[in-house]
Amino acid sequence: MKILILCTGNSCRSQIAQGFMLSFDNTLKVFSAGTEPTEKINEKAVAVMKELGIDISGAYPKNVKQYTNKEWDYVITVCGGANENCPVFAGKVKHRLHFGFEDPAAVIGDAEYQMSEFRRIRDEIKNKFFSFYIKEIKKQELPKCSCED
C-alpha cells in the first residue's frame, strides 16, 4: 500500500500525518511532500510528535514533483493550498482524498498558545488518519467472506 500525503510546505501537517500512519502500520509505504516545500521541518511539529513517542526529527521537506510519475494507492492533501494546487500525476492514482486541517505554523500568539494549537491540530490529524486507516486500509486486508447463507 503506497500513500502520498501532500501539503503546501511539507513542514508540519503532512509530516505529522506521515508519522502517524507509519506508527499505525510500519508495513505501509507512506511518503509526504509539498507543492512549495520549505527549507526544514517545523521544530514545533517535531516536539509535539515526540510527546507521543513518534520521532519525525529526521524528516525533511520534499517537492511533490519527485513523486508525480509514480503509482499511488492514495494521494491525500491535508491543506487547501495543496488541494487546489495538486499537480497532475502521470502515474496511476487509485484514490485522491482531501482531509483539511488548519496550519499550526500560522498560529499567532505566545509560545504556550502556539504549542497548544500544534497539539490540538496534531490530535485532529491523528484522529482523522486513524479513522482512515481503520476504515480504508485495514478493511482492504480483511478476507472476503465466501460463505453462503
Residues with a catalytic annotation lie at 7, 79, 86
Q: How far is CA 144 from CA 136, 147, 148, in A?
A: 15, 9, 12
Reduce the DSSP state of residue 44 to 3 states and report it. helix
- How far is residue 119's CA from residue 51's CA, in Å, rounded to a whole number? 9
Long-range contacts of 79-87 (CB under 8 A, 24+ apart): 79/7, 79/8, 79/13, 79/103, 81/7, 81/8, 81/35, 81/36, 82/6, 82/7, 82/8, 82/14, 82/34, 82/35, 85/8, 85/35, 86/6, 86/35, 87/35
